[in-house]
Structure 1
């Protein structure tokens, strides 16, 4: 190939890339971020989001986090949420519980469950499902790392989500982080539950801590979240004053260690 032809092809390629970057369908152009009355940002569709937790036992937290965002994307035109899972991992990770979804304001009939035989099929299904105009969001529950889910695969999903306006949530487990084209990356950690109204020592409403590890769409990077039937509720992270001693304050006498939840102690 002669030098002029090569330069001409490079120029054409640059123009093509620039045209793709300028498309209003890209998530950066369409993503509207606003704070609702509950204090957690409301994100428009068209985003690829990764939601990590360190251990599989926290699977419920990351699924709830994704479902809560997906719920806000449902509309008269977009009626469905697709939940993807590998058939081999279904016994380990479980499935969404219909009556539980109802108690949090999500109709079970809006959730379509899909099990695939392998990761290649799961990625194909995610890309095809997000292209459907009736789909509000796709949630892919991925229990183990896969070499197929690399930067190129995530870039394809990111561009497809941005083009169609439907969001994709990749649920991931473990401390490892591969390079990806996700617009946002979250880390979900369990937090002590809120106080039970009629029994202070019983478990109360659930809470978890969300940390934003990647993304420039949101300025705040950490929330303590609760849940209401209307969506997230951001909670001020405060320690109870009765369980805290001011730093540097001298103690007039020996203070016994706190046992359990303020149980009587021998002086």
Structure 2
């Protein structure tokens, strides 16, 4: 057998094995996506999602998008969400803000912060978290491109997520894209906020613009202008932006000042 023929046979065998490994997880994952024409899909657990934003200053928007989905996955049997971040990155990208989470109906007590030294430890921690049945979602903040996060690593996460029923959200930055086994890949950017009732010049409820760049589970390329409703993420029709309202949109109650990490109530 010639060298070229042997390499071709080995390549074909690898493709066959990869297809066998991926197919059950992919079929299982498809059952966790509910599509309604014109609305943002309802995404269940067990999915690996990449959330890209062009600039690191948009880190808050990417994190909000991930936590908005994670909030819908929390249940009595899965009460926790793990947030993984490299040590020192909180100085550059920030941390989830407790009172802000409360205002969106996310209990800060459900969020567990984990800091690691490098991406290798981060990926290990993500896999370990997927083995815990009490975890609803894992949000991993990848501060910079890393060679170790290749297709093989993403496939491991994808298969583990589908097997455990726990979703993984990888927060990525920049315009570069690598091969990935993620079920969904998003490009996210903040959008102008909605109109605040009685004051057009004041910032209103938050908005995101989410573009589906790659979707193994959703056979379409699409873009949504998203807002926040009492049930989570909701699509806003561009034709309605003059009114800038969603039925039951946004939690409007004030956040007590004493939640502000010990700040005085007059701060």
Normalised by the length of structure 2, the TM-score is 0.79
Q: Which moved more, 1:210-219 or 1:42-51?
A: 210-219
Give yes or no for the alignment of 1:74 onto 2:67. no
| Distance change in 2, residues 1:12/1:193 (3 Å) | closer
Partner of 1:232: 233
Equivalent positions of 1:109-128 (< 5 A) are 109-128=109-128
User: Alpha-carbon deviations, 1:94-131, whole Å to 9, x = none?
Assistant: 11011111110111111100000111110100011012
Alignment of 1:60-139 (within 5 A): 60-139=60-139
Q: Secondary structure at the match of 1:61?
A: helix
CA spacing shift, 1:38–1:105, aligned 2, 3 Å: farther
| 2:191 paired with 1:195 | no
Taking the aligned partners of 2:77 and 2:200, their CA distance within structure 1 comes to 44
Match of 1:260 in 2: none
Please report how far the alpha carbon of residue 38 of structure 1 lies from its aligned counterpart in structure 2 after TM superposition. Answer: 9.6
Q: 1:37 to 1:206 in 2, by over 3 A?
A: farther
CA RMSD, 1 decimal: 2.6
Residue 45 (structure 1) shift: 1.1
Q: How far off its partner does 1:208 sit? A: 1.4
SS in 2 for 1:96: coil
Q: How many angstroms apart in 2 are the aligned matches of 1:37 and 1:102? A: 31
- The superposition leaves residues 117-164 of structure 1 with CA deviations (integer Å, 9 ceiling, x where unpaired) of 111110100011012111111000111111111111111111111111
Measure how far apart 1:205 and its partner are: 1.2
Greater displacement, 34-43 / 230-239: 34-43
CA positional deviation for 1:228:
2.3
For structure 1, the residue ranges without an aligned partner over 5 or more in a row are 1-5, 242-267
Contact 1:85 1:140 in 2 (8 A): yes
* 1:176 partner SS: coil
Partner of 2:51: 51
Contact 1:27 1:47 in 2 (8 A): no
Asked if the contact 1:155/1:182 (under 8 Å) is kept, the reply is yes
Instruction: Return 5+ residue gaps in structure 2 as ranges.
Output: 1-5, 243-267
Q: 1:235 to 1:15 in 2, by over 3 A?
A: closer
Of structures 1 and 2, the larger Rg is shown by 1
